Chains A and B, each alone.
Chain A
Amino acid sequence: MTWISMLIKFCSATEMNSSSALFVTPNSMLYEPVQQTAIWGDFSVNGFLNPPSPFILEVDGKLSNQSEDSSHGMGGILDGYNQDDSKQGEKVSRRLAQNREAARKSRIRKKAYVQQLENSKIRLLQLEQELERAKQQGQFMGGGIEVSHLGYSRNRKPGIEAFEVDHGHWVEEQNRQTTELRNALKSHSGEIELRILVDSCMSHYFNLFHMKATAAKADAFYIMSGMWKSQAERFFLWIGGFRPSELLKILIPRLETLTEQQQVEAGNLKQSCHQAEDALSQGMEKLQQILASTISAGELGEGNYLPQMGAAMEKLEALVRVLNQADHLRQETLQQLARILTTRQAARALLALGEYFERLRALSSLWCSNTNESA
């Protein structure tokens, strides 16, 4: 008896419910009836089956046990046939076993494939977020997308992401205020309007110091290295920000019509700012010395340095204090300068300062696009 005739006999002998289906391919593998069929990648939602070639039928978990049983059942049915067909019976059993094996492998492959898709999806979402973040920073920093920024984002401490977003807004607002000052001075605005602008400008800087203080508690190293600043700004970095004496050096010569009294006071401010800055720089160096000797304590090369790590972490707490002190110095410098000057002079000074930072950011952006092009 040929296997086809066996098949026909089998079809009539077994009960087939409406949802089961039996498939035959040219390469003569006999398939069992299944209640649910799932051929991954080939089933559409409403269950219509488009058999590809070659054709592999997947049997779901529950059914695979049943298929074992039904094969015995099959065997039982086959037992009813004559001796001639027992060889055929063996072949069929073998083929059934091969089919089960193939189905099992197919299930494993499907699982792996789905897992891979899931992982890729997560990775894609991450990349999209990073890109969005980098774009935003590029906007706020004048268009430069730094690869180093993307690299750092993987190690960010909580609170730093929020700081970066807030800082982006801060820069936007600063640019807006700078423009307002420019327009007000051009149109010869009155004392009162200028006073309002000067005060809100000053508050805006003080806001930044406040933001930095919070962020420094989250990640002092991040603030220390000026990671949120554009490259050109970072070139002039001093303890997590701009150098106050540098600020005075840029602004004071540009102030026209300083009275003698003002000149004396400005000179004194320059000197005391320099002295305070100097002292704090040395304090910073002292912290570096302390940290270096803490890290290198004991035998260098020993391989076990857990105690040094604990001690060093304690020393690092001082970093936040130093950062706050530097920002305090910046704030005091700005306040004292504003106190010495008239409202109009202060407005001019703040305009000059605002544009100075704008220019640094523009330079960074140009630098970035230059670097990208040559890459």
Chain B
Amino acid sequence: MDKVMRLASENGLVIFSKSSCCLCYTVNILFSELGVSPYVHELDQDPEGKDIEKALIKMGCSAPVPAVFIGGKLVGSTNEVMSLHLSGNLMPLLKPYYSFN
């Protein structure tokens, strides 16, 4: 979907989320713990939210939210992020996006 790809390529790190979703919150917390600040797009505050959800599922995301994009590419939902992190492969992906405080 155009909007999804546009948002993903415009921002290095994107999380498609819903404000009431606790797993979206979990991924958000993990990213801030790792020192990065992703762009969070809340689908429940977007009039096209439903369409975006459908598009994300179509793209192969295991759950519509949270949907994580790194460097314009779909990484996946909570499961995929966790697996990557425990196998030590998440940090290298996030390196270009570290915010230096």
A127 CB-CB contact with B under 8 Å: no
Does A332 have its Cβ within 8 Å of any Cβ on chain B? yes
Residues in A with CB closer than 8 Å to B43 are none
Known: A275-B34, A276-B30, A279-B33. A286 touches B25 (CB 8 A): yes
* B21: chain A residues within 8 A (beta carbon): 318
B88 within 8 Å of A by Cβ?
yes
Evaluate whether A328 and B20 lie within 8 angstroms (CB atoms) in the complex, with A282-B29, A283-B26, A286-B25 already known: no
Chain A residues lying within 8 Å of B26, measured Cβ to Cβ, are 279-280, 282-283, 286, 325
Among B21, B27, B63, B86, max chain A CB count under 10 A is at B86
CB closest chain-B residue, reference A290: B20
Contact with A along B14-48 (1 / 0, CB 8 A): 00000011110111011001100000000000000
Least CB separation from B27: chain A residue: A279
Nearest-CB residue, chain B, relative to A283? B26
Q: How many B residues, CB 8 Å from partner?
A: 21
The reply to whether the CB of B85 lies closer than 8 angstroms to some CB of chain A is yes
* CB-CB nearest in chain A for B33: A275
How far does the Cβ of B21 sit from chain A's closest Cβ, in whole Å?
Answer: 7
Mostly, the A contact residues are helix
The interface stretch among A27-35, A149-157, A266-274, A356-364 is: A266-274
A: number of interface residues (CB 8 Å): 27
Asked if A268 contacts B22 (CB within 8 A), the reply is no
Contact indicator B22/A269 (Cβ below 8 Å): no
CA distance A328 to B87 in the complex (A): 13
Q: How far is the CA of A15 from the CA of B87 in the complex (A)?
A: 100
Q: Is the CB of A273 within 8 A of B22?
A: no
Inter-chain contacts of B83 with A (CB < 8 A): 332
User: B55 at interface (Cβ–Cβ under 8 A)?
Assistant: no
Q: Are A273 and B86 in contact (CB under 8 A)?
A: yes
| Nearest-neighbor residue (CB-CB) of A339 within chain B | B87
B33 touches A329 (CB 8 A): no
Residues of B contacting A336 with CB < 8 Å? 86-87
CB contacts between A and B, total, < 8 Å: 68
Say whether A282 contacts B85, CB under 8 Å.
Answer: no
Minimum Cβ distance to chain B for residue A27 (Å): 81
A94 within 8 A of B: no
Chain A residues 13-41 with CB under 8 Å of chain B are none
Instruction: Check A283 against B86 for contact (C-beta < 8 Å).
Output: no
In whole angstroms, what is the CA distance A325 to B20 when docked?
A: 17
* Contact status B82-A329, CB under 8 Å: yes
CA distance A333 to B88 in the complex (A): 12
Determine whether A284 belongs to the interface, using a CB cutoff of 8 Å to chain B.
yes
Q: Which residues of B, 42-84, contact A by the 8 Å Cβ criterion?
A: 63, 78-79, 82-83
B37 → chain A, closest Cβ, in Å?
15
CB closest chain-A residue, reference B79:
A328
A282 cross-chain contacts in B, Cβ below 8 A: 25-26, 29
Cβ < 8 Å to B, chain A residues 332-353:
332-333, 336, 339
Cβ contacts under 8 Å, B33 to chain A: 275, 278-279
Partner of A275, one of B22, B23, B25, B85: B85
CA distance A184 to B20 in the complex (A): 50
- Of the candidates B20, B29, B34, B86, which one forms a contact with A333 in the assembled complex, judged by CB atoms under 8 Å apart? B86
User: Could you tell me the distance between the alpha carbons of A283 and B24 in the complex, rounded to whole angstroms?
Assistant: 8
Which B residues are CB-close (under 8 A) to A315?
Answer: 20
**What is the minimal beta-carbon distance from B66 to any residue of chain A, in angstroms?**
10
Q: Is A247 an interface residue (CB 8 A)?
A: no
- A224: Cβ under 8 A from any B Cβ: no
Q: Indicate if the CB atoms of A322 and B29 lie closer than 8 Å.
A: no
Does A321 count as interface, using CB distance less than 8 angstroms?
yes
Q: Which of B22, B34, B83 has the most CB of A within 10 A?
A: B22
Decide: A322 near B88, CB < 8 A? Known: A276-B82, A278-B29, A332-B83.
no
The 8 A-B pairs of least Cβ separation, nearest first, read A283-B26, A279-B30, A287-B22, A279-B29, A283-B22, A286-B22, A332-B86, A286-B25
Q: Which chain B residues have a beta carbon within 8 Å of chain A's beta carbons?
A: 20-23, 25-27, 29-30, 33-34, 63, 78-79, 82-83, 85-88, 90
Please, could you name 5 A-B residue pairs with CB atoms under 8 Å apart, sorted by A? Answer: A272-B85, A276-B82, A318-B21, A321-B22, A332-B82
